Every structure is written in C-alpha cells, then in structure tokens.
Structure 1
C-alpha cells in the first residue's frame, strides 16, 4: 500500500436507531475528512456528521442513483489519494447486501489502505424491534437472508426459489418491496404453504416504524392497500406469529 495515500473506512451505521451505532463508527464519523454516505443511516446519524467534514451524497434508491457504483469507487480512490481519511458510511453492515465487498476489491486493486467496520445489519435488528425473533426453538432453527433486488444486468435470478420454498426456517428479504408480489408468487409456485405468515417492517428501528402482517398469499394486496414503501424488511415464517406476544415497539 502507498503510505502517502489516506485511508478508507467502510463503515456500517446499523439499522437507523442512533443508539445502535457502534462506538468505533461514531468515532470515525466525528474524525473523518470526507464522508461518502447513503441515505439509509437515517436523519439523526447523518445530522451528527460535523460541518467541517466534506460530505458526498451517494444515496441510492430503486431507479434513482445519484452516483453509479463505479463513480462511488472512484471517489473513494481519489479522495484517499489526496491523503484524506475517508468514511464510506452505509446503512446496516457493509458486507450484507451493501456492496462493500465490491468497494473493498476496488481499493485493493488501486493500492488504497482500507478497513471494514461492521455494523448491526437491519436483517436482524429490524425484526427484533418488531417483536420477531428470527430463530426460536419452537418455530425455526435456521434463517436465510436474500436480496429482493438483484443486479438488473443479470440474465437470470441466482435465487433458488425451489430451495427457498422448501426451507423450513425463517426467510428475510431485504429491499424487496417492489418485487413483493413476484417473490410471493415464486414461493407459492414452488410449493411454499400460501398460509405461511409474513411481516413487512417499514423504517425499522426508527420512530415511524410500521409493521404490516399477512400471509404469503395475501401480503402483496395488504401492502398495496396500506401503501407500504421502502426501506422495508420482509420476514417470512412461523416466527412472525410471536409478534403479538413479543412486540415491544408499537
């Protein structure tokens, strides 16, 4: 690594509740020269960034990317080559559907020193705030995480719907609101019980968190009626039944 360069920190900011931000992430946010951030860290965390820090908005939502991934990679490289301490602030954890691995590969390729700072992934924190434990001895001994928004340039889905339909544990879908109906149809088509409970949690861990509950066969219509919007986490499995007993954040 070129020691004249600065350093890039790929930082997970957690699911949004500022009290779930790690101590290391908080320290780096306050000491960075440059902050390249998404919108998912949440308003309170973004407002905690000191005014002296150069802020670069790299927020992404479906169909609206302020910077392409290649452009983000280049910004990280360029700012580090200026000798700056750069924080790439991401919602959740950088390596859970956060494209942190792609950014790390680019930094290695360009000879830039970097470090990964894990964050609490929304995949586990958001269901917990909704009163849904992803595993439970009476309901599920396994859990799997999938993305509901795959790379649109791929010719075929890499998701094995037949295996998912036969999976006896909990399924957690991130970024799946826009494909909720298609995903539900795929599960039913491949043999999943249509009555399997489903919960969609919007704005998880934030003060405006909202939970919508249904079954695989009904959830798309219920979500449409309620105007469910991203960011949201979808949980599929019998553990959703525990929400009525364990929900503490309603």
Structure 2
C-alpha cells in the first residue's frame, strides 16, 4: 500500500506541476465553462412571469451550481488519447507497469486542484453581485452532492474514455464525442433544469446517463425534488456498463494498434 500511495502521490504532483505551468490557459478554460452563468441571466428574467415553478433565485442557484459541477466534471481524455494513438505516443506507456489510463486520471485530478482558486473567485464574485441567491445547504445535502460529483466525474470520464478507444479504428474518435456532446448539452440540465421539461420528455431523459452528470448533483445541493436512490443507482449502472464496454474495446483495440514503436 505504501508503494501504491507513493506512485499516486508522484503522479499527482508531476501533473499538478505541469498544469500550473499554464495558469493563463487554465483561466481561459474556467471562463470557457461560464455558459451556465450566461444562461442564468436568461432564465432568471424568464422566471419573472412565474410560469416555470421556480423563482429567479432558484434559477440563479441552479445555474451557479451547474457552473460548480462543470468545474469538477469537465473531461478531455478523448483528445489526449486520440493524439497518443495517432502519433504513436501510446507505445512507451504500454511498456510501463501501469495502465495508461492512470496518467489521464491523475492529470484530470491535478487539473481540478490547479483551477480551484479561479473557480472559487468567480463563485465568490457571483454571490457578491447577486446576494439574494446565497444559501447554505445542509450537511446531508453537501455530503450527497459530494458523492454525486465523484460519481458524475467517474461516469463522464468512463464515457469519454470509451469513445477514445475508437481511436484504434479511426483517426477522429473525438468526432463521436462532439456528436455526443450535443445530447449532453441539452439533456444533462446544462441548458435548462429538468424541472421545466414536459413530463413525458423528462421521464425519457431520466433513463439516459445525461441527467446524472449535471442535473442530479445540482438538484441534491439546492434541494430540488429528486429520487436519490434512483439517481445513484442509475449513475453506478451506466458507469459499470461503459466500463465493461471500455475494457472490451481496449483489449480488441490493442490488437489493432500499429503506432510507431508498437
């Protein structure tokens, strides 16, 4: 266990040092995730008429929490893995006594630590400018939210890493992720809370993995009605499904890999 922890700590520190070299780029990435804040302005104005069942303050809390969730769950592994396969950079990693996925996992975790100061600053600035949206969640809400964030990141990472496996068959595996992102954008709760969806559409969407990436964690933190048991079970279920598919594609893809040095 001591050896494993030493490896994990080394990976985290190495990738953290790498991430903080590009602080300016990190600021741009944080700002690039500010779409929920823009949509918050739209929905708070639309809520003035009282037609959506949520008050302007509810929408403000929802979208600032969406922004927070996005800071923890953003993933880019498909582009990195695609480049490694196409350029043959995967070959030396296959020689290491560790699954290459852990390079990507630790780089994502380290990036979260590097971007946190900028994210906290923006959230603090938001509550200074819009104090009526400030609220203090209960400990149970916070703990459930934290657990849902960890699971949402795991699900988002596994889904994208599964798409990345297609790089063994095509040079544009990222195109599949771009297509998937369109559904993610509209069905995850990033554009609008699932509460405002028509009931038949909402029921159908809840059977997909999308709501458990954003809407479910957000609902837990701000206190919107949600089925907690179903939410966690669906998140775990979809994660296991994509994990199984990922391992199948990984084993078959390695047989096709012909990168430089393979």
Fold match, TM over 0.5?
no
- If each structure's helix is expressed as a fraction of its own residues, which one has the higher value? 2
Alignment TM-score, normalising by the size of structure 2: 0.25
- If each structure's strand is expressed as a fraction of its own residues, which one has the higher value? 1
Alignment TM-score, normalising by the size of structure 1: 0.26
Higher relative contact order (CA 8 A, sep 6+): 2
